[in-house]
Structure 1
Amino acid sequence: MAQHPRGSDTRRQYQLVADRIRALIETESREPGSRLPAERDLALQLGVSRPSLREALIALEIDGRVEIRGGSGVYVCAGQDQGDVATSALGDSPGELMQARVVLESAIVTLAAARVTPAGLQRIEEALQAMREDHAVGRKPVEADRRFHLGIAEMCGNAVLVGMVGTLFDGRHSPISSRMSGRFEPTHAWHVALAEHQAILHALEARNPQAAAAAMGSHLLASHGRWIGEPSDPPAGAAVAD
C-alpha cells in the first residue's frame, strides 16, 4: 500500500508555531482573559511570518486555548497546563495547500489552453454560471467552484491531474481551513472571485496558455490573501460580476 508522502509523525508548521505560543503562555504565566501581544509583535517575537502565525492562532482557538476577538486581539482562555499538551493536527496548512494549487493548477491550465474543446469550454462556462447563481441567492458556490477547476483539469485528458486538483481543492474543508475561511474571508470575496474566474475563462477561450497561467496564478494568490485576511484587488481589466 502506498504511504502518504508526508509521513505519519511529521508535525505541520502551524502546529509547531502553536506549541511555541502555548509555551509562551505558560512561561509568562498569562492568566485567562489576558491579551497576547499584537499580531505583528508576536510574529516578530517568534520569528515567524504573519500568515503562519494566523494559522497557529486559529489552531489554538479550535483547541480552546485562545479566543480571537475581531478588532480587539487574541486572549488567553482557560485550558490545560502546557505539560505534554500539543496542538492537534487539523488538516494541512491553508498556506501550503494554496501554494501547491498555484504550482499545479498554473501548469494544468497552460496545458488545458492548448487542448481546449467546445465541450470542455461548455462545462467550465456552466460551472461559472452556477457560481453566479449561487452567489446571487447568498450561497457560497463551493461545489460549482470545484467543478470549474476540475473542468479545466479534465481538458488535459489526465485522470491523475484531475484527482490531484480535487484532493487539493477539498483541503478547504479541513477544520483549520474552514475556520480560517469563516473568520477572515470577507463577505465580498466571492463577488471578486467571479471576476477572476471569468478572466481564466477568457484566456482559455482565446487559447492563450500564458494568459491562462497568469490568470490562474493571480486568482489563487488573491484567494489565499482573502483567506488569511489580506485581500487583494481584483485583476486589472476584470469586470466584477453582478
Structure 2
Amino acid sequence: MPIQIVETQRLYRQISEQLRALIRAGEFPAGTRLPAERELSVQLGVSRPSLREALIALEVEGYIEVRMGSGIYVSDPLPAAAGSDLSSEEAPLELIMARSLIEGEIAAQAAKLGKKRDFDAIEEAIDTMEADANAGKKPLDADRLFHVRIAEATGNSALVGVVRRLFDARLGPLFDQLHSHFETSDVWAQAIAEHRAVLKALRTKDPAAARAAMQTHMEIAYKRLTSSLTKAPKNPATKGAKQASGKAAAKPAPARKATARSR
C-alpha cells in the first residue's frame, strides 16, 4: 500500500463532519431545530466563529437550513450525499482575519509609496462599485479591483498577487453562502463608505490612518458575518427569500454532548 500524505484538516471541516455524523445517526433528527449556536459551541467545545463556518458548510451541502426569525433546522429529507466538495476552501472568517493583517500593511505601504495617479485609479474602482450597487448589480468585480489597485500602488507585484489570491479565495460556495445571509444594499453602501475612508487616508499619505481604515473595514465585515444568522436583515433588497419564517415550528433537537478541538 503506497504511503499517503497526511493533511491537516481545517477545524470547520472537523466540526461539520462530526455534526454530519450526528445528523446521520439520528442524534439530530430530520426536521428538528438545532440548539442555538452559543449552546452548540459549548457542547462541542469550539469557538462560535468556527462553529459558524461549520454550519455554513452543512448548509451548502444541504444538511441544514437557516430560517429567518426561527432557527437552524436539520433538512427534511436529508441529502443522499454531500453536494459540494469544500475540501479546498479556506475558512471564511479566518480569511477575513488574514486579509485584515496583510491588507492593512499593504494599505500603509500604498499610502507611503503611492502617487496621485494610483489614488485616482483606486477612486475610479470605488465609483464603479457604487454605480454597480446603485444599478442593483453585485459589485464584486469593482470591489476586487479596489483592493488590487491599492496593492498596485505599492509597486510590488508580489503583493498584488497576494491580494488577488486572498480576494479570489472568497469566491467559493462557502463564503458566498455565508455572505448571502447578510448581503443587502445597505451593506454594500456601508462597504463603499469604508472604501472611501481608506482612500482618504491614502490621499493624505498617512500610513497609520490607511492601515487603521483597512483593518476597520475588515473588522466590520467580520462582526457582520458572525452576527445572528436567523435575524432578518434590515434591508433585504438584494437578499434571496430562501428561508420562510412562516414555516411551522419544528421540535428542537435534544441537547447533545460532543467534543471537537477548539480553535
Shorter-chain TM-score tier: 0.7 to 0.9
2:78 maps to a residue whose letter is G
Match for residue 16 of structure 2 among 14, 18, 30: 18
Equivalences for residues 34-49 of structure 1 within 5 A: 34-49=32-47
**Aligned with 2:161: secondary structure?**
helix
**What is the CA-CA distance between 1:88 and the residue it aligns to?**
4.3
1:60 maps to a residue whose letter is L
Q: Which residue of 2 aligns with 1:136?
A: 134
Q: Which residue of 2 aligns with 1:189?
A: 187
Contact 1:185-1:229 at 8 Å conserved across structures: no
Partner Cα separation in structure 2 for residue 8 and residue 184 of structure 1: 36
Contact 2:126-2:195 at 8 Å conserved across structures: yes
1:52 maps to a residue whose letter is S
Q: Which residue of 1 aligns with 2:69?
A: 71
Contact 1:185-1:226 at 8 Å conserved across structures: no
**Aligned with 1:207: secondary structure?**
coil
Partner Cα separation in structure 1 for residue 135 and residue 213 of structure 2: 26
**What is the CA-CA distance between 1:81 and the residue it aligns to?**
9.4
**What is the CA-CA distance between 1:182 and the residue it aligns to?**
0.8
**What is the CA-CA distance between 1:46 and the residue it aligns to?**
1.0
How many pairs does the alignment contain? 222
Note the residue ranges of structure 1 that are not aligned, 5 or more in a row.
Answer: 1-6, 232-242
Seq. identity, %: 43
Deviates more, 1:27-36 or 1:168-177: 27-36
Contact 1:204-1:212 at 8 Å conserved across structures: yes
Q: Which residue of 2 aligns with 1:61?
A: 59
Contact 2:133-2:185 at 8 Å conserved across structures: no
Partner Cα separation in structure 2 for residue 175 and residue 207 of structure 1: 37
1:178 aligns with 2:183: no
**Aligned with 1:188: secondary structure?**
helix
Match for residue 149 of structure 2 among 136, 151, 155: 151
Partner Cα separation in structure 2 for residue 168 and residue 92 of structure 1: 10
Partner Cα separation in structure 2 for residue 31 and residue 202 of structure 1: 53
Partner Cα separation in structure 1 for residue 153 and residue 12 of structure 2: 35
Partner Cα separation in structure 1 for residue 79 and residue 62 of structure 2: 10
Equivalences for residues 105-116 of structure 1 within 5 A: 105-116=103-114
1:171 maps to a residue whose letter is A
Q: Which residue of 2 aligns with 1:224?
A: 222
**Aligned with 1:79: secondary structure?**
coil
**What is the CA-CA distance between 1:96 and the residue it aligns to?**
1.2
Distance 1:80 1:29, change over 3 A: farther
Distance 1:116 1:88, change over 3 A: closer
Higher relative contact order (CA closer than 8 Å, sequence separation 6+): 2
Note the residue ranges of structure 2 that are not aligned, 5 or more in a row.
Answer: 230-263
Q: Which residue of 1 aligns with 2:246?
A: none
Contact 1:113-1:212 at 8 Å conserved across structures: yes
